[in-house]
Amino acid sequence: MAASETHYTLPLPVFDRPVKLLIVVAPYYKDIADNLVAGARATARASGAETDVVEVPGALEIPSAIALAERLAEFDGYVALGCVIRGETTHYDTVCNDSSRGITLLGLQGAAIGNGILTVETRAQAEVRADPAGQNKGGGAAAAALHLVALSRKWARDTKGIGFRA
């Protein structure tokens, strides 16, 4: 069982200039979402990052909100948070697969995103994973975004204002 395993966690990156993260959360299960956000904010704070939070109706809207922010706002990275609990229909599979696919595609286009959308069988599993004092998956998603921001800054090229931005 995963609870008894020991996992290595990378230390949080250190930044020489401010980092701004956008936390995009689907609060369908409000108590679980609130715990995910609390964990993400605490991790961001520990790294000196500033956070903004926006809510969207469901997990399927998270990639769209991140895409809009990537085009229209000024954020260094993004934290995707929400919870999908298996129900009686195949809707669970659609929501899990398509939200994950959308986030992955945005990441492959260069957005620094930590995916903290829980995909679980039961509410009890979600509660343990979302708890900042438990598995703290919100904090883990924020840490992932921060590590990707650090990599993007490490590999950024100085363009001196030459060229066009799509």
pLDDT at position 6, please?
Answer: 84
Residue 74 domain-assigned (yes or no): yes
CA gap 86, 84 in Å, rounded? 7
pLDDT at position 111, please?
Answer: 98
Q: What DSSP letter does each residue of the chain carry, written as one string?
A: -GGG-----PPPP--SS--EEEEEE--SSHHHHHHHHHHHHHHHHHTT-EEEEEE-SSGGGHHHHHHHHHHHS--SEEEEEEEEE--SSTHHHHHHHHHHHHHHHHHHTT--EEEEEEEESSHHHHHHHH-TTTT-HHHHHHHHHHHHHHHHHHH----TT-S---
Residue 162 domain-assigned (yes or no): no
Residue 2 domain-assigned (yes or no): no
pLDDT at position 160, please?
Answer: 56
Residue 163 domain-assigned (yes or no): no
Residue 161 domain-assigned (yes or no): no
pLDDT at position 88, please?
Answer: 92
Domain count within the chain: 1
pLDDT at position 163, please?
Answer: 58
Range of the domain at 95: 19-155
Which residues, given as ranges, of the chain have pLDDT below 50? 1
Report the CATH number at residue 129: 3.40.50.960
From the list 91, 93, 104, 121, the catalytic residue is: 91
- What does pTM read for this prediction? 0.92
Residue 11 domain-assigned (yes or no): no
Residue 5 domain-assigned (yes or no): no
Question: Is 147 assigned a catalytic role?
Answer: no
Q: What angle do CA 44, 50, 112 make, to 5 degrees?
A: 65
pLDDT at position 7, please?
Answer: 84
Task: Give the list of residues 6+ apart from residue 96 with CB closer than 8 angstroms, or none.
Answer: 59, 84, 117, 119
Residue 112 domain-assigned (yes or no): yes
